[in-house]
Structure 1
Amino acid sequence: MSASAFGIPVVLQTALLLTASNVFMTFAWYAHLKNLNDRPWWIAALASWGIALFEYLLQVPANRIGHRELDLGQLKIMQEAITLVVFVPFVIYYMRQPLKLDYLWAGLCILGAVYFIFRSP
């Protein structure tokens, strides 16, 4: 496991950048349903594109850094796992929707995907 000049392992750098990028992307994809619901769709799209720019400014470096040690499958599954970790609190605390048991089942399925993609050959 290699580290950057700051001594942070590549996988941790990747996970932190992907987490931050997922926060932006989750807001870009879903916050307009709460905040701009009364506006035309194209206003929501423009606002979402503006937010998504920051997601890409974090996601692209995350994948470039992560690809030093992880293959594409590992990067994708890591991103999907992080997406669920970000999405569930967003739904509960920001969108004010109830916690569902289905989030647990989905999380367990993704945990299985993480296991299979990161296990040793």
Structure 2
Amino acid sequence: MIDRVAPVLMLVVSNIFMTFAWYGHLKHKSSALWAAVLVSWGIAFFEYCLAVPANRMGSNVYSAAQLKGMQEVITLAVFAGFSVLYLGQRITVNHGIGFALIAVGAWFIFRAPV
């Protein structure tokens, strides 16, 4: 069970770091771009410290396609929460529909091969 759950939890935490690295600077547009890049790069280091082992461990129980599909759904869930809670932006119906379509795509990846 831990083999299946640990990679997912690590991917969730790594995505929180990556979302801050990619989008956190949008709340601080007055800072210099070079500073935003350096801070983002520093944050992204911690994302890699979790994502790489998560994918390595996860490959023992999931295919690469399943790991990627899982990653996309996790990314969207983390981003939606970040967008609302940190950036103060709302998720519209169109965003929800788009995210749902991606989640349906991931569901197909986890189905038994046809």
Tell me the TM-score range normalised by the shorter chain.
Answer: over 0.9
Question: CA–CA distance in 2 between the matches of 1:102 and 1:61?
Answer: 34
One-letter code of the match for 1:83? T
Q: Deviations over 1:7-42 (max 9, x none)?
A: x2x22111100000000000000011103x112211
Which residue does the alignment assign to 2:112? Answer: 120
- Please provide the CA RMSD for this pair: 1.0
Alpha-carbon distance, 1:87 to partner: 0.4
Gap regions ≥5 residues in structure 2: none
Alpha-carbon distance, 1:107 to partner: 2.2
Alpha-carbon distance, 1:103 to partner: 2.4
Which residue does the alignment assign to 1:77? Answer: 69
Which residue does the alignment assign to 2:5? Answer: 12
Question: CA–CA distance in 1 between the matches of 2:99 and 2:41?
Answer: 28
Q: Deviations over 1:59-82 (max 9, x none)?
A: 011000100011111110100000
Q: Deviations over 1:78-120 (max 9, x none)?
A: 0000001100010001000122112211221122112210001
Residue of structure 2 aligned with 1:61, choices 53, 57, 71: 53
TM-score (norm 2): 0.94
1:76-115 equivalences under 5 Å are 76-115=68-107
State the 4+ residue runs in structure 1 displaced beyond 6 angstroms: none
One-letter code of the match for 2:40? S
The structure carrying a bigger helix percent of its residues is: 2
